[in-house]
Amino acid sequence: MTAARPLTASADGAALSGTGFDVAAVRDDFPILASSVNGQSLVYLDAAATSQKPRAVIDAEVAFLTRANSAVHRGAHTLAAEATELFEDARAAVAGFVGAHDGELVWTSGATAALNLVAYAIGNATAGRGGDAARALALRPGDEIVVTEAEHHANLIPWQELAARTGATLRHIPVHDDGTLDLDAAAALIGERTRIVAFAHVSNVLGIVNPVAALVELARAAGALTVLDACQSAPHLPLDLARLGVDLAAFSGHKMLGPYGVGALYGRAEVLDALPPFLTGGSMVTTVTLEHAAFLPAPQKFEAGTQPVSQAVALAEATRYLSGLGMAAVHDRERALERRMRDGLRGIPGVRLLGDTERAERVALCAFDVDGVHAHDVGQFLDARGVAVRVGHHCAQPLHRRFGLTASVRASASVFTTEDEIDVFLDAVSGVRAFFGVAA
């Protein structure tokens, strides 16, 4: 792994203040970056969809599978004990990375699974499962769930379904024309009937860091539960979920240099203790009879069946890698890349940026529309030049509808992105309209 160290400038010439990291050395850690696409050097600007993996993460999973592979929490033999120790050490590492204790971190298959876990667990509480603490989480007709207009479908549809099952009402906080949340509307919406406030830390379309403190304050005043989608913040910002004050949060491994098939649900201990389980079966029980089952405490009561063990071990290595770079340094560098990308896109005729504002903190992610050219055509044009971006609605159809679009192009950077790659991307975008014959 590349250790963080003081620098005066990065390998590609970008000045850094204080402590930074050697981007050229970081790039050497990612084998896929040596690839060519369509005869061009790969420029990977799709990190918001899935990140690339450093060799340390790949090696960590391979090492577990080749030297320690065994069922966890189930065997008395040496290999099982070693696997269990690695699995729980991974929990502690990932929990520490997001400012949590290991008992506050539940393994899931990803953020979508984590958010559905919460929604279905609350539904189970509504159905009468769990004790007195669970009943306090139950929803009733007339109760309200508040989301935002900018949510990823994974933090919208589970709440739609929960509202349909319980008779609760789903409401949403609108966004301004610049993509920032309408906090005046939020203050009017969040009130005595609000039971849940669910929102993204960072919009996966706009790259805007949402005002967590303001939303948590409104929710607390109403006695509502807060649920944070941290998928786009965990890889890019120093993250302390306990300090943010949210009750629950979800994030995915594959977006933060880790493998597919693993993610986590963070929950304050008292909230996890109150929630009844969602999935049931082996490994999450204490005593089972033919008529009744008693469950383990959190987090194990939410971890029925076979867990993503090798993936968890690899995700822990990803958090160690990011911590070695320094998350403050990661954010500072990516903020400079975002500014270069956004300023460059602003200067290209016919390009419209979504959420182009100076009123909010941002991560290195830009979504845009090219006048007269469909997003998918733009993506194919860029791909022919070796530039990988995301096209479509990015699982955020309501937000695209808000801006009068069905699709956009999204470019998103990571720890290995260079200024030269941003410039290659911008040069390619500048040629799109002429290629398709729509330039003025």
Q: What is the pLDDT of residue 439?
A: 76
Q: What is the pLDDT of residue 440?
A: 63
Which of 116, 126, 71 is CA-nearest to residue 282?
Answer: 71
The reply to whether 311 and 364 lie within a common domain is no
The reply to whether 359 and 310 lie within a common domain is no
The reply to whether 43 and 177 lie within a common domain is no
Q: Among all residues, which ones are annotated catalytic?
A: 395
The reply to whether 121 and 270 lie within a common domain is yes
The tens digit of pLDDT for each residue in 239-281 reads 999 999 999 999 999 999 999 999 999 999 999 999 999 999 9
Domain of residue 267: give its range.
60-322
Number of separate domains in the chain: 2
The model's confidence at residue 15, banded by pLDDT at 50, 70 and 90, is very low
- Please report whether residue 121 resides in a domain: yes
Residue 132 belongs to domain with CATH number: 3.40.640.10
Share of the chain above pLDDT 90, in %: 94
The reply to whether 309 and 219 lie within a common domain is yes
The model's confidence at residue 20, banded by pLDDT at 50, 70 and 90, is confident
Specify the 3-state DSSP secondary structure of 399: helix
The reply to whether 146 and 277 lie within a common domain is yes
Q: Are strands 169-173 and 144-148 parallel, antiparallel or unpaired?
A: parallel
Alpha helices (H) in 223-307, listed in sequence order: 241-244, 269-274
The DSSP string of 110-127 is: SHHHHHHHHHHHHHHHHT
Specify the 3-state DSSP secondary structure of 203: coil
Q: Where on the phi/psi map is residue 426: left (φ > 0), alpha (ψ -120 to 50), or beta?
A: alpha
Q: Of 322, 342, 371, which residue is a domain's last?
A: 322
The tens digit of pLDDT for each residue in 67-117 reads 999 999 988 899 999 999 999 999 999 999 999 999 999 999 999 999 999
The tens digit of pLDDT for each residue in 281-310 reads 999 999 999 999 999 999 999 999 999 999
The reply to whether 314 and 354 lie within a common domain is no
Q: What is the pLDDT of residue 74?
A: 84
Q: What is the pLDDT of residue 217?
A: 98
The reply to whether 334 and 214 lie within a common domain is no
Q: What is the pLDDT of residue 75?
A: 83
Q: Of 282, 298, 322, which residue is a domain's last?
A: 322
- Please report whether residue 420 resides in a domain: yes
Share of the chain above pLDDT 70, in %: 95
The reply to whether 229 and 101 lie within a common domain is yes
The reply to whether 17 and 83 lie within a common domain is no
Global pTM reads 0.94
Mean pLDDT within 16-20 = 48
The tens digit of pLDDT for each residue in 123-181 reads 999 999 998 999 999 999 999 999 999 999 999 999 999 999 999 999 999 999 999 99
Specify the 3-state DSSP secondary structure of 15: strand
- Please report whether residue 440 resides in a domain: no
Q: What is the mean pLDDT of the chain?
A: 94
CB 48 within 8 A of CB 250: no
Instruction: Flag whether pLDDT at 65 surpasses 90.
Output: yes
Q: 18-22, 293-297, 424-428: which has the minimum mean pLDDT?
A: 18-22
Count of C-beta atoms within a 10 Å radius of residue 85: 12
Q: What is the pLDDT of residue 3?
A: 33
Residue 366 belongs to domain with CATH number: 3.90.1150.10
Mean pLDDT within 315-319 = 98
- Give the C-alpha separation, 241 to 230, whole Å: 9
Q: Of 322, 349, 381, which residue is a domain's last?
A: 322
Instruction: Flag whether pLDDT at 415 surpasses 70.
Output: yes
Residue 54 preceded by cis peptide, ω within 30: no
The reply to whether 292 and 176 lie within a common domain is yes
The reply to whether 171 and 213 lie within a common domain is yes
